[in-house]
Copies of this chain bind each other. A is one copy, B any other.
């Protein structure tokens, strides 16, 4: 068991998986910095991503490992992997081929939530 200090200040990997064995992955566009999607990785997806430079995820709905773009062709070539202080989230910066979102939009975050709302909150399509 690593100490909190080792986890935060060390250079040893000590991924903190959730109860389902997953960590959160934020995927950003390596050029613009835009957040493209948020997905999950298990240990195998993480290792394949670091080893190969292709983005691999774990699909919670399909319960399987998944190389981004393997069916759609919308692959992600990873330029950089970063990890946060407590090692339970990573950011990958990618070169995205085509849209990242399954709705065929560049990013999954295509709707804004205007500030100042109370009660019934509505979204705004860009």
Cβ contacts A58-99/B at 8 Å (1 or 0 each):
000000000000000000001011111110011100000000
Cβ contacts A2-42/B at 8 Å (1 or 0 each):
00000011111100000000001010100011110110000
The interface size of chain A toward B, counting residues with CB under 8 Å, comes to: 51
User: Quick check: B84 and A109 within 8 Å, CB to CB?
Assistant: yes
User: Quick check: B35 and A113 within 8 Å, CB to CB?
Assistant: no
Asked, given contacts A26-B35, A89-B38, whether A82 binds B115 with beta carbons under 8 Å apart, the answer is no
Chain B residue at minimum C-beta to C-beta distance from A36:
B84
Most chain B beta carbons < 10 A, residue from A10, A78, A83, A90: A83
Choose among B8, B24, B90, B117 the residue that contacts A50 (Cβ–Cβ < 8 A): B117
User: Quick check: A28 and B24 within 8 Å, CB to CB?
Assistant: no
- Given A9-B103, A82-B113, A86-B108, 16 other A-B contacts at CB below 8 A? A11-B123, A24-B24, A26-B26, A33-B33, A35-B82, A38-B84, A47-B118, A50-B113, A50-B116, A50-B117, A51-B115, A51-B116, A51-B117, A81-B112, A83-B111, A90-B113
